[in-house]
Amino acid sequence: MSFQDNTTESTGPSTDSVVEPTAGVGGTETTPEADTIIESRDLNVYYNDAQALRDVSMEIPEKRVTALIGPSGCGKSTYLRCLNRMNDLIDAARVEGEVRFRGKNVYDDDVDPVALRRKIGMVFQEPNPFPKSIYDNVAYGLRVQGKDDDLDEKVETALRRAALWEEVKDQLDSSGLDLSGGQQQRLCIARAIAADPEVVLMDEPASALDPIATSKIEDLIDDLASEYTVVIVTHNMQQAARISDQTAVFLTGGELVEFDDTSKIFENPDDQRVEDYITGKFG
Ligand SMILES: Nc1ncnc2c1ncn2[C@@H]1O[C@H](COP(=O)(O)OP(=O)(O)OP(=O)(O)O)[C@@H](O)[C@H]1O
Ligand SMILES: [Mg+2]
């Protein structure tokens, strides 16, 4: 059940029905307030009869890093998967409420989930390159979409953006599986951004990596935020504090307890339960 497998499915005639950026967005001036790119409204998710998310409403700012934190089982991965409809692939999952991407509810009938996942890509906890060459891993999605003109250039650009190019430029024909874990994860990030998404979802992307590889991924995420919106789940509080602009704290029961600037969440949260969680009193 991976996004990559899913991209191989036929998309049918309706592509990109969700997804054209609003005219006028993307000006070069920097404003302190970011536009909202994704908004969930009263999102409830059930796995059979068990509720995993409860009335989660949240506005995710564009071209920022938003961290999702909270104890195991509180629904972070579930929330992330709602944003690009990965939960569609889980039979037991039922989603109520709305997720608006640039104002359009991604659960509307006319939204093609495959096209949506090109705009909102995903990187998983365990690096999962295809058993193909480094080059073919990055080129894969572009070929599937028939965007294979200037492929060499596009592959190089994606590998550069993923801070991997210098390490692999002389071995593009070697298997992606022969890279180190940290390199494999950057390869997966290159693969995700090669398709030119607007949002990159990351579910604990560094938790399987050593500290040096983790620090490279963190630097990379910081760089990516100049061009992409990043939503990242992490169990590592210091990581959330280091790399994110906004932090959402979920607590057991699938409730979003507090969502604010990361500095506010870590220095002076409104909710006592958030304070207790962050200072390690529970979770
Ligand atoms: N495929 C599934 N089928 C049934 N229940 C599920 C499924 N996936 C998640 N759940 C349940 O939904 C709740 C939220 O799970 P989720 O994986 O979203 O939590 P999480 O915050 O990501 O946890 P972790 O930090 O351990 O990854 C849990 O109670 C979990 O058991
Ligand atoms: Mg999870």
Which residues make beta-bridge pairs with 106? none
What is the CA(78)–ligand 1 centre distance, in A? 6
Which atom in ligand 1 lies closest to the alpha carbon of residue 48?
A: 4
Which residue's C-alpha comes closest to atom 29 of ligand 1?
73
Of all ligands present, the nearest one to the C-alpha of 68 is: 1
Pocket test for ligand 1, best of 46, 51, 76, 80 (most atoms within 8 A of CB): 76
Report helix, strand or coil for 183: helix
CA 227 to chain centre: 13
Q: Is the pLDDT of residue 14 over 70?
A: no
Which residue's C-alpha comes closest to atom 24 of ligand 1?
72
- What is the average pLDDT across 73-85? 97
175 touches 184 (CB < 8 A):
no
Q: Is the pLDDT of residue 184 over 90?
A: yes
- What is the average pLDDT across 117-125? 94
Task: Identify which of 106, 102, 74, 34 has the alpha carbon closest to the alpha carbon of residue 273.
Answer: 74
Pocket test for ligand 1, best of 1, 78, 256 (most atoms within 8 A of CB): 78
User: Which residues does a 6 A CB cutoff place in the pocket of ligand 1?
Assistant: 47, 52, 70, 72-78, 90, 92
Which pLDDT does position 208 carry in this prediction? 87
Task: Identify which of 213, 277, 265, 254 has the alpha carbon closest to the alpha carbon of residue 77.
Answer: 254
C-alpha distances out from residue 137 to 5, 17, 50, 155, Å: 12, 26, 37, 9
Q: Band the pLDDT of 281: cuts 50, 70, 90.
A: confident
Instruction: Give the residue carrying structure tokens 């104890």.
Output: 71
Which pLDDT does position 32 carry in this prediction? 64
Q: Band the pLDDT of 39: cuts 50, 70, 90.
A: very high
Question: Which of 51-55, 271-275, 278-282 shows the lowest per-residue confidence on average (mean pLDDT)?
Answer: 278-282
Of all ligands present, the nearest one to the C-alpha of 255 is: 1
Which pLDDT does position 283 carry in this prediction? 53
Which pLDDT does position 282 carry in this prediction? 62
CA–CA distance, 99 with 83 (Å, rounded to integer) = 7
Q: Sort strands 246-251 and 255-261 into parallel, antiparallel or unpaired.
A: antiparallel
Q: Is the pLDDT of residue 2 over 80?
A: no
- Phi (first) and psi of residue 99, to 5 degrees: -125, 115
Q: Band the pLDDT of 132: cuts 50, 70, 90.
A: very high
DSSP string, 117-137: HHHEEEE-SS----SSBHHHH
What is the CA(265)–ligand 2 centre distance, in A? 21
